[in-house]
Amino acid sequence: MDKNHARPGFKIPDITLPGWFLCVAVMIALVWIIDPFIDVVLLRHGTLGQQMFEQGIHEIYFRIAISTLIIIFSIIVSLFLIHSRRVAKGLRESQERLVQNYHLQNVMSNILHYSLGPVSLGEILKFSLDAILSEPVFSLKNKGSIFIADDSNEMLMLEVHSGLDEALQKMCAGVPFGKCLCGRAASSREIIFSSSVDGRHENTCEGMLPHGHYCVPILSADRVLGVINTYVSAGHNNTQVEAEFLTMIADTLAGIIERKRGLNALRMSEEKSQLLLNSTGEAIYGVDLDGECIFANKTCVKMLGYRDEQDLLGRNMHNLIHHSRADGTRYPLEECIIHQAITTGKGIHLDDDVFWIADGSSFSVECSSYPINREGLNIGSVVSFSDITERKNRDRELIESREHMRNLAKRLQEIREEERTLIAREIHDELGQTLTGLKMDLFWLSGRLPKNWKHLPRRAQEMISLIDSTINFVRKLSTELRPSMLDDLGLKAAIEWQVQEFAQRTRCKYRLDLKIRDFSPDSDRDTAIFRILQESLTNIARHAKADYVEISMNEIDSQLLLTIKDNGIGIDKEKINSSSLGLISMRERAGTFGGEFSIRALAEGGSQVTLNIPYSRGIT
């Protein structure tokens, strides 16, 4: 039977030359021992010999048969002895391998356990080197070093060492890739073994004793992280066990180095992030999808009235600071806009909201929420907020101040109009009546002058003409101060008269479209509209150089819309935004009654004034 097809569980061992010698020796010994026994006991004196003679069996055949059995038996015994020897040898080797693996696993376990503690990378490497060199089952000298590759990945820097003298430390402080045994191991990414100080030892010094090296690269993916350098005695034989041991240690250190660097990078990133968070004036906190706090900066902790970040971590921020509205009523979680932004992953901004602090009081905030995405998944949100209590107080004070100023301006306008009305009435009544009386007296006097005083009647007529001019001027001045038709006939008539006066004075063509019928008269409002129209037409006459003007007034949704267009040279944006008293006055007049005033340049040339002011419907 072919040995390759022997039954399972048994394999015929390969017999070497010493094995054959053993088989032959066993056969000779057995034949030598048993042959006298066969001759004396079986053949000469035993019944077996007599039976053989009686049956005609020759003695020689019997001896051959017995020798064959002896040979087969000796072969079986020899094979059993050889197999037993090999089994024993295998058991010893397995036991040695188990011991070596145990020590290897023990070294790796100690290194991994130590690396998980609060220690630096240098301390881990030093501990690892000592653990490697102190392992008794491997034939390593208590001398070695570990190098780490620099950022350029072109130089090995001596990180830790054991047993190196000062001269060797200086010599090996930095080893370029490709130089000496360590550099060659880094550049080739393979284990370099040397049993003596040969030509590859480029870093040598006087008095260096004979020795050998294992130089094992520490690899991670496509990068060289460093090199483990151990010393062996001169003439030491390279063994697979030692190479595998050092390779496994190098692989373990590669993982530790990468992990430690990753943790250092993460810690630095966290420190930078925390520094950035703490340096900003805004309060910032982060929450997970359950709304529980995962971080908070110092400004946030201080604004919310807590001692440190630990008071907030893990707590539901809605229940803690956003549980109620400004009036104290409960703010349900499902209605909370910030919580909705967290769950939907959408950013939001609230101009005015309320947060509650540790002592139970509240303050106004402006806040924003931005989603935290990781690999396309929403895992929470970052909420930033700022205290706007002072800003709201300033805004309220500013609004109150503006309201006071507007009321003051309104009152000043009213006083101004009252004074204008009073002056116009006094001029019209007192001065007009006086001038009319003078004119009548001159008529009476001119009729009684002597006929022979030819120059006196002519002089009297000139005085009457002068009085007529003065009366006309008084009437015009009275009308400009306060058009009587504004009080007597209403806004529409006053606008028609003012536009006609403007056209006569400037010889400018115009189109007037007044579609106002059913709004209640309001003296103050109508005066404001009329004065804005009057000021706009005055500006056109002075600056626009226009020869055509369109004036329209419409009623739209309880609003009076007055529009004045011209085809002049237009107006610059700088003048629109300037502090012109005329424009400011018109804006304030409109604002007093809740209206809006605007002026803009038209693309086709000219400018447009728009006044939008509310009114009450009624019967005129």
- Answer with the residue of higher pLDDT: 260 or 444: 260
Single out the residue of 102, 100, 131, 101 nearest to residue 114, CA to CA.
131
Task: Say what the pLDDT of residue 200 is.
Answer: 82
- Answer with the residue of higher pLDDT: 176 or 61: 176
Euclidean distance between CA atoms 441 and 428, whole angstroms: 19
Residue 211, amino acid: H
- Answer with the residue of higher pLDDT: 1 or 36: 36
User: Does position 32 have pLDDT exceeding 70, yes or no?
Assistant: no
Euclidean distance between CA atoms 372 and 29, whole angstroms: 89
> Mean pLDDT across the stretch 171-185?
90
E-strand ranges in 319-361 read: 348-356
Task: Name the pLDDT band for 235 (thresholds 50, 70, 90).
Answer: confident
Euclidean distance between CA atoms 252 and 124, whole angstroms: 12
The sheet carrying 509-514 orders its strands as 509-514, 548-555, 559-566, 607-614, 596-601
Contacts of 212 (CB under 8 A, 6+ apart): 193, 194, 195, 196, 231, 232, 233, 234, 235, 236
Place of tokens 């369109």: 550
Tens of pLDDT, residues 292-349: 999 999 999 999 999 988 999 999 999 999 999 888 899 888 888 888 877 787 888 8
Task: Say what the pLDDT of residue 168 is.
Answer: 85
Tens of pLDDT, residues 39-54: 554 545 555 555 555 5
Bridge partners of 362?
356
Instruction: Calculate what percentage of the chain has a pLDDT beyond 70.
Output: 80
Tens of pLDDT, residues 356-382: 999 999 999 999 988 888 877 888 889
Pick left, alpha or beta for residue 189 (phi over 0 → left; psi -120 to 50 → alpha; otherwise beta): left
Q: What is the mean pLDDT of the chain?
A: 80
∠ CA 552-558-564, nearest 5°, is: 20
Task: Say what the pLDDT of residue 320 is.
Answer: 92
Task: Name the pLDDT band for 385 (thresholds 50, 70, 90).
Answer: very high
Tens of pLDDT, residues 272-287: 777 777 777 789 999 9
Task: Say what the pLDDT of residue 566 is.
Answer: 93
Whole-angstrom CA distances from 4 to 277, 303, 398 are 74, 84, 104
Whole-angstrom CA distances from 480 to 270, 485, 487, 502, 538 are 75, 11, 13, 12, 12
Hey, CA dihedral for 398, 403, 404, 406, is it positive or negative? positive
Tens of pLDDT, residues 134-173: 877 667 788 899 999 988 888 999 999 998 888 888 888 8
Task: Say what the pLDDT of residue 34 is.
Answer: 61
Assess contact for 186 and 156: CB atoms under 8 A. yes
Return the minimum-mean-pLDDT range out of 118-122, 299-303, 586-590: 586-590
Tens of pLDDT, residues 416-435: 767 777 776 677 667 777 77
Task: Say what the pLDDT of residue 607 is.
Answer: 92
CB atoms within 10 A of CB 487: 14
Alpha carbon 166 to chain centroid, angstroms: 49
Assess contact for 610 and 601: CB atoms under 8 A. no
Task: Say what the pLDDT of residue 147 is.
Answer: 93
User: Does position 207 have pLDDT exceeding 50, yes or no?
Assistant: yes
Eight-state DSSP code of residue 198: -
Contacts of 455 (CB under 8 A, 6+ apart): none
Hey, CA dihedral for 270, 275, 280, 283, is it positive or negative? positive
> Mean pLDDT across the stretch 580-597?
82
User: Does position 4 have pLDDT exceeding 50, yes or no?
Assistant: no
> Mean pLDDT across the stretch 112-120?
87
Task: Say what the pLDDT of residue 474 is.
Answer: 76
> Mean pLDDT across the stretch 242-246?
86
User: Does position 64 have pLDDT exceeding 80, yes or no?
Assistant: no
> Mean pLDDT across the stretch 443-472?
76
Length of the chain: 620
Euclidean distance between CA atoms 139 and 231, whole angstroms: 9
Whole-angstrom CA distances from 323 to 59, 339, 394, 428, 605 are 118, 11, 27, 70, 58
DSSP 3-state of 149 = strand
Tens of pLDDT, residues 66-93: 667 767 776 776 677 666 777 777 777 6
Tens of pLDDT, residues 518-551: 556 777 788 888 888 888 998 898 888 899 999 9
